[in-house]
Amino acid sequence: MHDIIGEKLREYYDDITKEDVPDRFIELLKILEKSSSSTKEN
Amino acid sequence: MVHVISRSVADEACTFSDLIIGAIPSLRAFGLSLTGRADRADDLVQETLVKAWKHQDSFQTGTNVRAWLHTILRNEFYSQIRKRRREVEDADGVYSNKIAVSGGQEDHMDMADMRVALMQLPEDQREAIILVGASGFSYQEAAEICGVAVGTVKSRVSRARERLAVLLDAECISEHSA
């Protein structure tokens, strides 16, 4: 019925998801990994 | 890429953080669609990652990690909004969704239009149409993420579609006549 809406919506969304994952998140995950592996070893 | 993984999960083909990293683009888009602001969206994503990590024991391998992460982000959004609403209501008595709309001037025109139009929708319709119409979740998954019945998601999606059609058409007309 409103296929144009669906297309525009996916276009909008895909444009955002195409962006690279910011470093801050990769760094954050590294920190979380380090902290959880050190607690597990205790 | 992250390869400083803890030994306990290193044997698995895909680590927990690999799974999370794969979902980040979609989480950012969901966050941006909910808040209308890139800085708030990324703060939401950051909170989501920390919470996901903290509660990774409650995540079962083989279940849908994307849906699980979107649920966490959504819960975080609503708890922030409740807090914000209380603050704003204290300040001037009324909360307006419009304050969340940013200029978005660097965006492609259609994208800015869509973002502005999305922010005109009530939150429940907005999240429903994003999850189903853009992120590729099934109605069932979206219902679980939002904690409502499948039929409720369906009706929200259809109302959102109708509203968006009106809003975007109206914007096209006003642009051309301006």
In this model, does residue B2 exceed pLDDT 50? no
Task: Give per-residue pLDDT as tens, B22-41.
Answer: 999 999 999 999 998 999 99
pLDDT: which is higher, B82 or B132:
B132
Look up residue B118 and give its two tokens: 């999305």
Look up residue B84 and give its two tokens: 């914000």
Q: State the sign of the Cα–Cα–Cα–Cα dihedral B2, B8, B14, B16.
A: negative
Structural domains in chain B, CATH included, are 1-87 (1.10.1740.10), 89-178 (1.10.10.10)
Looking at this protein, which amino acid is placed at residue B26? S
Do B134 and A24 make contact, defined as CB atoms within 8 angstroms? no
**In chain A, where are the structural domains located?**
2-41
Instruction: Tell me the shortest Cα–Cα distance from B24 to chain A, in angstroms.
Output: 7
Looking at this protein, which amino acid is placed at residue B71? T
How many CB pairs below 8 A link A and B? 93
Least Cα distance to B31 among B78, B65, B94 occurs for B78
Task: Give per-residue pLDDT as tens, A4-42.
Answer: 889 999 999 999 999 999 999 999 999 998 887 766 544
pLDDT at residue A20 in the model: 92
Query: pTM (2 decimals)?
Result: 0.78
In this model, does residue B53 exceed pLDDT 80? yes
* Proportion of chain A in helix, strand, coil states, percent, rounded to 5: 80, 0, 20
Buried/exposed B85-104: b ≥16 CB within 10 Å, e otherwise: eeeeeeeeeeeeeeeebbeb
Supply the ipTM of this predicted assembly. 0.84
| DSSP secondary structure string for all residues of B34-100 | HHS-HHHHHHHHHHHHHHHHHTGGGSPTTS-HHHHHHHHHHHHHHHHHHHHHHHHHHHHS---GGGG
Contact B168, B117 (CB under 8 A): yes
pLDDT at residue B83 in the model: 86
pLDDT: which is higher, B162 or B102:
B162
Look up residue A27 and give its two tokens: 């760094």
Q: Which residue, among B39, B108, B114, would best test binding to A if mutated, counting the most A CBs under 10 Å from its CB?
A: B114
Contact B58, A41 (CB under 8 A): no
Do B164 and A2 make contact, defined as CB atoms within 8 angstroms? yes
Do A16 and B32 make contact, defined as CB atoms within 8 angstroms? yes
pLDDT at residue B170 in the model: 67
Do A2 and B162 make contact, defined as CB atoms within 8 angstroms? yes
Q: What is the mean pLDDT of chain B?
A: 81
Least Cα distance to B70 among B45, B88, B94, B35 occurs for B45
Mark which residues 82-141 of B lie under 8 Å from A by CB: 108, 110-111, 114-115, 118, 129-130, 133-135
pLDDT: which is higher, B129 or B6:
B129
Instruction: Tell me the shortest Cα–Cα distance from A32 to chain B, in angstroms.
Output: 7
